[in-house]
Structure 1
C-alpha cells in the first residue's frame, strides 16, 4: 500500500509544469528562477544547487529545508493555412486559414528540497523533489482553423497534450579541500503523458485515436565539481546523464469506438553545464551555459513517419541555454534579483508539424525576484517570470500520402502551420535553517 507521504508527494507533483528551454524547466524554486536558472557556480539557495550542481551543496551549513509553489500560465497560439482544391484535385488558388488560442488555464508548479550535514564533517547530503520537465497544450476543435478542424474534415480535431516529469534526487557532496568539492546524485523519475489525438499510434479509418494517461519510470544521475576561490570568484561543472525511461503504454480509442494499444519511448536528455560566479560586497553574479543533447535521446532523436503512418519521434536538435542573474544585497533584509535566460529552438522548419503538441518553446525569459529575511533562519522568496518565443516556429503541413512526390515527409505545397507563445509565472516559497553546522575540520 502506498504510504501517506508518497501519496502526498504524488498528488503534490502530479501537475502540469510547462517547460521553458526545450521541454526542460529553466530553474528550480523561486531563488534559482529569479537568477535565470544560473546556479552551477553560484549556489544562492539549495534548490538551485541540487538541480544544477550537486557539488555546490557543500557551501551550505546546517539543516535547511526549502519549499516553493507557483502558478504558471502559458498562451500558445496555433496558426495554419492549407490550399483549396477543386473536385478534380487541382488547386483553386484560394487558401483556408485560421487561428486558435490555447485555453489551458493555470498550472501549479512546486519544488521541495532539503540539505543537511554532520558537524565537523566534510560530507553534505541533500534530497529533492522537482517537477523538472513538462509540456501541454489545449487547442479546442475548430471549424475555422484547418489544422484542428474535425478529423472528418481532414484536421486533427481537439489537440491536447499533457506531459509531466517528477524527479527525485539524493545527493552527496564531499569537500576535497577548502576550495574544491565533488558531488554525486542518483536520480529517480516518474512521468505521465497524454496525447489527443495520439500521433505515435497507427491511424485508423477515422483518423488518429485519443489515449488514456500513460506512465513511465526512469533513472539516471548527475555529477558535479565546484570551485570557490574564497576571494569572490567561483566556477562549476556538472553533467546530468540521460534519464532512461520505460516505455509509455497507451490504450487508444478511435472515433469509431474501436480500440488498440501502442508503446512509445521518450527519455530525458543529457545536460552539460558550466558556470561562473562572482560575489563581492553587495553583489552576487552568476552565468551558466548548458548544452542539452536531444539528438541522442530516444523520442527526440528520430522523426518522420513510420511505414504505418504513425509518428516516430519529435526530431529535435541539440539546444544551447544561457542563464544569467544578479543579486543585490544593499537593502537591509531585502535582497533583490534580476535574471535572464536565452534558449535556442530545438524544432527546425521541417519538423514543426510533428511538434504541435509540444509548442512550449521560449527563446527569451525575464525574471524579477526578491527575498525578505525575517531572521537568520527564515526567508520568504518570490519571483515573477515572463517569457516569449521570439517569433513563430513555422513549417509546412505534412501528410504521409504526399511522400512519393514531396519527400521525405510529404509536405503539402502552399500549406503552413506555426505557433508562438508567451508565459507568465508567479512563485513564492520559503527556506528555513533548523541548525547551523560548525566549522568543518578533518573528516571524522
Structure 2
C-alpha cells in the first residue's frame, strides 16, 4: 500500500478528527462511542473491537461491514492576560465530519477471524482569529485605531505587536489495521493487528520554527508522514457472562514531518522537520452480560512521556554561533504527561428492537500548568464526556446505530506566557544581552501574565452495520 493510496483514503475517511483524551479519540463508531469507548472486554460491534482489542473480533461469526459518519463541533476558548490587558478569543472552525469504516470475516466453524479497518484515531485543531485591536507594536509605535473600551486578548495580537496573530492548527491521523484473531479454546482468544498510519500537520504560525527578529514566526504548508505499529490482545468470554480483555497498542513510529515555511510577508523561511509519533496505549477491560444488560468498563494508560514530539519540552537551544547556549524560540515538543482514561458503558436491550446505551469517559490532563503555553495549538483536552446511543434494525441484516456526545474540559488549563527571546539586543562581545537566564528562568516566564484555554464538544453520529448471510 503506497503513500498516495493512503493519502487518498485519508482525505476520504478523515476530513478532520479531534482528540478527546489528549489527542486520542475516546471511541470509534456510534456503538463504541455510546459505550464511552469501552470495548476491550465487551465487543458489542466490530468497530469497537477492532479499535481496542483485536482478539475480541473472534466473537463475530459472520461477514459484517460497518460504516459511520458523525458531525463534530468543538468550542475552545483561548484567554490571556498581560499587564492590564486581558481577553478571550473564541474558535471559529465550525462543524467537522468524523467517518469510520470496518469489516470482519468470521465463520461459526472456524477458529480464525479476520478484519480490516480505516479509522481516524487522533487529531487536534484550532482556528483563533487575530485581534487587531492592539495598543502598540513591538517597536513602541502606538496604534491610532486602538479602542481601550473593548476587551483585548494579548496572545491574539498580530505578531508585529507581540502576539501570535491568526492562530490555526490541523493535525489528523488515519490508521489502517489488518486484524487476525485465533480461538485457542471456546472461551479464550488472542489477536494481532499490524497497522499502517498516515499523519498530516499544518501550523500557523509555526512554533517549531525559530522566529526572525524582524519577520516573526513563519507559517507551514501541510506536511505528511507514514507510520507503522501494531496491536496485540487477549479476550476471555466465560460461560457465566463475565468477560475479560487486555490489549497493547505499540507506539506508532512515524517519519519526520518536513515543512516548507513562509513568513507573513510572503518570503521563504528556512525549512523545518519535526517528528511526532503516536503514543503506546495499554488497555484492560471487564465486561458482564446478563439477560437484557451489557456492562463494560475499560482502563487505559496512554504513554506520552516516551513518545517523540510529546516527551520533549522547552525551547530548542542554539548549538553554535553568537547565540550558542541561548534558546532559538523554536519549541522542542508539547511536554505532555502520561494520562489515565476510564471508560464505562451500559446497554439495555429490554425494549424490543431498540437497544439503548449510555456511556461516560474520564481522562486526566496531560498538560502541566507551566507548559500550558506550548499546547495552544492542541487545546482539545476533554476531562468528562457523556454519551447516549441507540440501535434500530432496519431489516434482518441491516442495523442503524446512533449516538449523541457532549464533553467538557475540567475547568481551564492555565499557565503563564513564555518568551525566551524578548527583543534581545547584542552586547559588544556579540552575545545576547536580554533578560533570559537559563539558570533562573529556563522557560522565559513573563511575570504576572496568564494564558489558558477550555472547551466543550458535541457530536451527533450515525452508522449502519450490515451482516451478510445472517
**TM superposition score normalised by structure 1:** 0.93
Instruction: Give matches, 1:4-19, under 5 Å.
Output: 9-19=9-19
> Paired residue for 1:430?
464
Give 2:262's match in structure 1, choosing from 231, 243, 253. 253
**Residue 6 (structure 1) shift:** 6.2
Identify the residue that residue 440 of structure 1 maps to in structure 2.
Answer: none
1:182-331 superposed matches below 5 A = 182-205=190-213, 206-256=215-265, 257-307=267-317, 308-331=328-351
In the aligned structure 1, how far is the partner of 2:108 from the partner of 2:383? 44
* CA deviation after TM superposition for structure 1 residue 3, in Å: 11
Matched, 1:403 2:436: yes
Within 2, Cα distance between the matches of 1:288 and 1:146?
42
Q: How does 1:80-159 map to 2 (within 5 A)?
A: 80-83=80-83, 95-118=84-107, 120-142=109-131, 143=133, 144-159=152-167
Give me the whole-angstrom Cα distance separating, in 2, the residues matched to 1:5 and 1:160: 27
Output one character per residue of 1:114-163: Cα deviation in whole Å (capped at 9) or x when no partner. Answer: 00024521000000000000000000001321001000000011010000
Q: State whether residues 283 and 326 of structure 1, in contact with CA within 8 Å, keep that contact through their aligned partners in structure 2.
A: yes
The change in CA–CA distance for 1:204 and 1:4 in structure 2 (over 3 A counts) is closer
Change (3 A) 1:277 1:407: same
Work out whether 1:175 is the aligned partner of 2:183.
Answer: yes
The C-alpha deviation readout for 1:238-280, integer Å capped at 9, x for no partner, is 0000000000001011124232200000000000000000000
Query: How many residues are treated as equivalent by the alignment?
Result: 425
Local SS of the residue matching 2:329: coil
Gaps of 5+ in 2: 134-151, 318-327, 422-434
Pairwise CA RMSD of aligned residues? 1.6
Measure the CA separation in 1 of the matches of 2:3 and 2:216. Answer: 42
Offset of 1:390 from its aligned partner? 1.4
Shift, 1:377, TM fit: 1.3
Deviation at 1:403, TM superposition (A): 3.4
- Is contact 2:14–2:119 with CA below 8 Å preserved after alignment? no
Counterparts of residues 361-372 of structure 1 (less than 5 Å):
361-372=381-392
Aligned to 1:439: none
Q: How big is each residue's C-alpha offset from its partner over 1:266-310, in whole Å with a ceiling of 9 and x where there is no partner?
A: 000000000000000000000000000000000000110112220
CA distance in 1, matches of 2:272, 2:3: 31
Specify the alignment match of 1:29 in structure 2: 29
Q: Name the counterpart of 2:426.
A: none
Q: Does 1:345 align with 2:365?
A: yes
State whether structure 2 residue 421 is matched by structure 1 residue 387: no
**Cα distance in 1 for residues equivalent to 2:119 and 2:209:** 30
Runs of 4+ in 1 over 4 A off after TM superposition: 1-8
Give the Å deviation of 1:406: 4.6
Farther off after superposition, 115-124 or 382-391: 115-124
2:453 corresponds in structure 1 to: 419
Change (3 A) 1:276 1:435: same
Unaligned runs of 5+ in 1: 84-94, 437-444
